[in-house]
Amino acid sequence: MAQILVADDAAFMRQIIREIVESKGHEVIAEASDGIEAVDKFKSHRPEVVTMDIVMPRSSGIDAVKGILDVDPTACVVMCSALGQETLVKEALAAGAKDFIIKPFLPESVIETLDKVLEKGDR
């Protein structure tokens, strides 16, 4: 199962994602509350997948994707965005994110998206 970094400025969202992925056997090895911390945690933990909120303080999820890909061009980042953020989702995908999950999300959609990006072998 995959080792995952969860980046979201809302602690309750990090907890929801943690519960969903751990219920399917994945391991959350680190959490981050902003984009700068996400890049730092990626460098120190090297997770197989990062779930990244798009809108966060200090550094956006989009900037964090770029920072993570500078460290490891094969990194697998899945963006989490609210409904109505389609422009930001497109920008994140253009920056190198592998896929996205729309909030509020169903547990099945989180697992399906993670399984899809892991199966692609992008990492």
> Is the pLDDT reported for residue 58 higher than 60?
yes
Q: What is the pLDDT of residue 84?
A: 72
Of 7, 20, 4, residue with least CA distance to 55: 7
Which domains are present in the chain?
A: 3-51+59-119 (3.40.50.2300)
**CB pairs under 8 A, 24+ apart, for 15-22?**
17/51, 17/80, 17/110, 20/107, 20/110, 20/111, 21/110, 21/111, 21/114
Confidence of residue 121 (pLDDT cuts 50, 70, 90): low
Helix (H, G, I), strand (E, B) or coil at 57: coil
Tell me the helix, strand and coil percentages in the chain, rounded to 5.
45, 20, 30
In whole angstroms, give the CA distance from residue 110 to residue 94. 21
Q: What are phi and psi of 36, to 5 degrees?
A: -65, -45
Segment 32-54, tens digit of pLDDT: 999 999 999 999 999 999 999 99
Q: What is the pTM of this model?
A: 0.92
Angle subtended by helix axes 11-23 and 107-119, to nearest 10 = 70
Q: What are phi and psi of 78, to 5 degrees?
A: -110, 120
Segment 66-85, tens digit of pLDDT: 999 999 999 999 999 887 77
